[in-house]
Amino acid sequence: MGLKAVVVTVLLAAALSYYVYNPMPDAIQEPWKLMAVDAAFRTGVNLAALKYHLGIDHYITSFRRTMQGFDSTMVALLGSRPPAGVVPGVKVSDITFAGVPVRVYEPPAGGEGHLRRGLLYLHGGGWAFGSGKMGAYDKVGRMISDELNTVVVSVDYRLFPEVLFPEPFLDCAAAAKHFLSPEVLDKYAIDPERVAVSGDSAGGNLAAAIAQEVATDDSVPVKFSVQALIYPVLQALDFNTPSYVQNRNMAILPRQVMVQFWLQYLGADISLQPQLIANNHSALQHSVLTPELRSRLDWTSLLSQKFKKSYKPVVAERDSHGLLKKIPGLLDVRSSPLLAGPEVLAKCPRAYILTCEFDVLRDDGLMYARRLKDAGVSVTSDYYEDGFHGCLSFTSWPLDFDVGKRALRNYMTWLQNNL
């Protein structure tokens, strides 16, 4: 190899290392693996943005295709056989519930006289990406169905940019109420006293909102007995909680990306992102943000000192952009379940809330756990000091993390003991 080739190789390797390198907290195990995952995501986002600017494709749909291609590649690499410990007898059906596409997993066990558990699952992806049919979600659906003798219904609600809030919520509400109808529960031999709603990230947001909706809707005779929320998104009024500030540049879900997801979901202009990051949308001038409403997400009183650390609240005096009028969905409890009043929370089912230290959404989950407890709801808080956003989806080689495996096992154990 000539000197020129050596120099070019070294420069390319250095450039690649610089691109991939993203400093990780010391507690993160296998940091280079997480850096590689993060670099892959950023590459997909950057390529999608390039296509969008060139007028080739919408950046969201372009990135979706990239994700689907990656998912198909992983399935091909891992083979078509089911994951270890999963009985291939689980029946999988792609149908619709009240017009909403769902994937239903029916366990091989059970039968006449043996009522089973039921679980409605809502996938994550910033209300813009993902599908319950993707590899990681499909694996978990099969595992829960098989190991816990559960009929799992994974909902493929509509996404941005095809629809905006509240359509994804309405899709999930329609599917949930259909699932909870006596006729459907009887069809699948599900015990009406053992039905859960669960979801991760944006799906955790929808799961919490649906749990509130069903709990307060007198026309729904069967209620969810538990809600299991995995690093849920629960509010959009404070993007300067300790976890948002601490993890603002963290892999997988940095703060600016989460704020962009919110703006997209609520149909607002992405150019408003800096205003939301500065908390101008929750400025003191807004009379609608009463002290009582602000108390519902006041992390200075809802978090323990362990999580507050030395961070200080960021409170703006004035909002020169009229953000609450431009984005009314910011105050809608269907988008921000943490804003629900105590009388609503008191009716909600007992809860499991999983949070991770290295996640901008950590404090959302911790505050919700505290507010549910204060309302008299039984809550199990499952916190991972070495966890990061999305870790539950990384449990299969070569993108497997020990914290993801532990989190998945503990989540399933809680369902087994509480559902």
Residue 201 designated active-site: yes
Write down the residue that tokens 């009240």 correspond to. 98
> Cis ω on the peptide bond leading into residue 82 (within 30° of 0)?
no
Choose, from 171, 359, 363, 364, the residue flagged as catalytic.
359
Q: Which amino acid is at 68?
A: Q
Q: Could you give the dihedral angle defined by the CA atoms of residues 233, 157, 225 and 366, in that order, rounded to the nearest 10 degrees?
A: 0
Residue 286 designated active-site: no
What token pair was written down for 228? 């299991």
85: Cβ contacts below 8 Å, ≥ 6 apart: 143, 146, 147
Angstrom distance (rounded) from CA 273 to CA 176: 33
Closest CA to 243 of 49, 387, 43: 387
Q: Which long-range contacts (CB under 8 A, 24 or more apart) does 187-190 make?
A: 188/104, 188/106, 188/116, 188/118, 188/151, 189/110, 189/111, 189/112, 189/114, 189/115, 189/116, 189/151, 190/115, 190/116, 190/117, 190/118, 190/151
DSSP 3-state percent helix, strand, coil across the chain (nearest 5): 45, 15, 40
Angstrom distance (rounded) from CA 254 to CA 79: 32
Are residues 228 and 198 in contact, defined by beta-carbon separation less than 8 angstroms?
A: yes
First vs last Cα of the chain: how many Å apart?
64
Give how far Cα 323 sits from Cα of 55, 274, 333, 384, Å. Answer: 29, 12, 17, 35
What token pair was written down for 119? 């679980």
Choose, from 131, 201, 335, 396, the residue flagged as catalytic.
201
Q: Which residue(s) pair with 114 in the sheet?
A: 111
Helix, coil or strand: residue 25: coil
Choose, from 319, 389, 393, 396, the residue flagged as catalytic.
389
Task: Extract the runs of DSSP E, i.e. beta strands, from 60-142.
Answer: 91-97, 100-106, 116-122
Residue 114 designated active-site: no
Helix, coil or strand: residue 104: strand
Residues with active-site annotation = 201, 359, 389
